[in-house]
Amino acid sequence: MGYKEILLSPIKIGNKECKNRFFAQPMECVDSDEEGNPTDLTYQRYENLYKGDFGLVDLEAITVTNESRARKTQLEIMPRNEKALTKFIKRLKEVNPDTLIVFQLTHSGEISEPDFSRRVCVKPTYGLGGDLLSEEEVEHIMDQFAEASKIAEAVGADGVDMKLCHGYLGSQIIRPYNDRNWKYGGSWENRSRFAYDLMEKIKKSVSKDFLIGSKMSMWEGYPGGFGSADPESPLMDMTEPIDLIKGLEERGASYFVESLGNVHCAMNYMECLKDSPELSYLHIYFTDLMKKALKPETVVIGSHFTPFRGKKNKLLSVDPEKSGIFPVGAKCIEEGMMDMVGLGRQSFADPLTPLKLKEGREDEIHYCTMCMNCEELMIRQQPVGCVTYNRPYTKRFVECRKNFGKLNELHT
Ligand SMILES: Cc1cc2nc3c(=O)[nH]c(=O)nc-3n(C[C@H](O)[C@H](O)[C@H](O)COP(=O)(O)O)c2cc1C
């Protein structure tokens, strides 16, 4: 089979049929209204992904509370958002009825922005910190996730993604650094309790066919982060991450999205800069570990495919014909390292990527230049989109630079 056939072949996720192997990564775009509802900009972005014929779309980090959040205009999922989200999903299903959508439920914890919300933590991280969460508060947060899942199903989503990646609250609780002596800290049994109890609570609030999965940083990339040997160790150890995905699978998770890194201190592992595209291979290694540890029917989704681009990428020592997103993605699927291919920055550069492959218009695909200006817009709390190929965002970026100057460091 050629790469086109492999990438366009259907796959089952839980009891749902996913039409192809393309996964649109959750991409926060800071463009909600004041109540956390989708605006015209949000509609445009997701309508484009739906037109682009992705098999599965992961709706960007949508916060289960507006008390603690990372972005000022972040999508929210609380009872007050139900009506607006119903209208939004209805519209997307009109554009493309058989693209599946899951919502990435999040709580930002210590990544919450104190300028407009309450920064909270499970154990203060050097350089971050915030109010220390009590056990009762964590239980309340889990109830908020469960309520959000109920709303997600009611508004027509196909499932949820419990965010356990990139240093947001889910990662903060499960990492070895959380050695505080409490119900959710210290031993692995205590630290994994959050993820397992959350899974059970979500399961109870939705119907049997509703998908539950998780995007996780298998290795956060710094001492004490998830996937470290102990609270201070710089050594990677996959015992806990592998145990966690198996435990979640046993409790009913039907898919996982691989990721690495932490938004505060290990960003290059999460989304590398232009000059280190070879970090993509690291993600394939972790995705393969996950796939091999889980049952064959559990869907594992690979991340960090944007750097492979088309034939013109910065990867050396490889034949350009074989090193683009499509040939590499298809090879990884064919050889059993993953089931689906996630596109993040590339989904900004060209939301029609899967459709263009399907229609034989590969030469019309705009490939992400990895300029990272989308990231800069996000850090500046501005609506996010592709600065290179989407004019309104180019203008917004120019304005942003005029107003705020250049960022000292992109990876902050
Ligand atoms: C602007 C921007 C926003 C992002 N928002 C999210 C998010 O909401 N949730 C998440 O899990 N990852 C988020 N990410 C990470 C991507 O989903 C993805 O894991 C990463 O960019 C690597 O994939 P890529 O090489 O295809 O871009 C974001 C990345 C960028 C650049």
Residue nearest (by alpha carbon) to ligand 1 atom 29: 27
Structure confidence at residue 4 as a pLDDT band (50, 70, 90): very high
Closest ligand 1 atom, CA of 215? 11
pLDDT at 295 over 70: yes
Q: Residue 202 has which token pair?
A: 């979500």
Query: Which residue owns the Cα nearest ligand 1 atom 23?
Result: 304
Residue among 345, 384, 412 whose CB has most ligand 1 atoms within 8 A, to mutate? 345
Give me the pLDDT at residue 137, please: 98
Other beta carbons within 10 Å of 142: 19
Q: Residue 197 corresponds to which tokens in the numbers above?
A: 């109890």
25 CA closest ligand 1 atom index: 17
The 10s digit of each residue's pLDDT in 108-123 is: 999 999 999 999 999 9
Cβ-count burial 371-402 (b if 16+ within 10 Å, e if not): bbbbbbbbbbbbbbbbbbebeebeebbeebee
Q: Is 271 in the pocket of ligand 1 (CB under 6 A)?
A: yes
Does ligand 1 have an atom closer than 6 angstroms to the CB of 50?
no
Is the Cβ atom of 27 under 6 angstroms away from ligand 1?
yes
- Is 174 a pocket residue for ligand 1 (Cβ < 6 Å)? no
Residue that the structure tokens 């004041």 belong to: 34
pLDDT at 406: 86
What is the Å distance from ligand 1's center to 182 Cα?
32
The answer regarding whether domain 3-370 maps to CATH 3.20.20.70 reads yes
pLDDT in tens, 301-343: 999 999 999 988 889 999 998 999 999 999 999 999 999 999 9
For ligand 1, the distance from its centroid to the CA atom of residue 9, given in whole angstroms, is: 25
Q: Give yes or no for residue 240 CB within 6 A of ligand 1.
A: no
From atom 6 of ligand 1, which residue's Cα is the shortest distance away?
Answer: 27
- Angle at which helix 82-95 crosses helix 40-51, to 10 degrees, equals 30
Q: How close is the Cα of 345 to the center of ligand 1, in Å?
A: 7
- Give me the residues paired with residue 102 across strands: 58, 159
Could you tell me if 318 and 281 are in contact, meaning their C-beta atoms sit under 8 angstroms apart?
A: no
Question: Helix, strand, coil % (nearest 5) of the chain?
Answer: 40, 15, 45
pLDDT-derived band at 410 (thresholds 50, 70, 90) equals: low
- pLDDT recorded at residue 63: 98
Ranges of each domain in the chain: 3-370
pLDDT at 160: 98
Indicate the Cα dihedral angle 138, 142, 145, 146, nearest 10°.
-160
Compute the mean pLDDT over every residue in the chain, rounded to the nearest whole number.
97
pLDDT in tens, 21-76: 999 999 999 999 999 999 999 999 999 999 999 999 999 999 999 999 999 999 99
Q: Is the CB of 382 under 6 A from ligand 1?
A: no
pLDDT of amino acid 311? 85
How many angstroms is it from 341 CA to the middle of ligand 1?
14
Q: Indicate whether residue 220 lines ligand 1 (CB < 6 A).
A: no
Beta strand ranges found along 297-389 (DSSP E): 299-302, 340-343
For the stretch 212-255, pLDDT in tens is 999 999 999 999 999 999 999 999 999 999 999 999 999 999 99
Give the model's confidence band at 412: pLDDT under 50 very low, under 70 low, under 90 confident, else very high: very low
Share of the chain above pLDDT 90, in %: 96
What's the DSSP call for residue 264? T
**Atom nearest to 368 CA in ligand 1:** 27
Q: What is the pLDDT of residue 407?
A: 83
Q: What is the pLDDT of residues 185-197, one digit of tens each?
A: 999 999 999 999 9
Q: CB of 13 closer than 6 A to ligand 1?
A: no
Please give the number of the atom of ligand 1 that sits closest to the Cα of 343: 26
Q: 């049929």: which residue's tokens?
A: 17
Pocket test for ligand 1, best of 22, 25, 387 (most atoms within 8 A of CB): 25
Q: Would the CB of 58 count as within 6 Å of ligand 1?
A: no
Q: Decide whether any atom of ligand 1 lies within 6 Å of the 306 Cβ.
A: yes
Q: CA distances (Å), 191 to each of 20, 229, 367, in order? A: 35, 14, 40
Looking at ligand 1, which residue's alpha carbon is closest to its atom 31? 375
CA distances for 15 relative to 104, 180, 245, angstroms: 19, 39, 19
Answer yes or no: is the C-beta of 26 below 6 A from any ligand 1 atom: yes
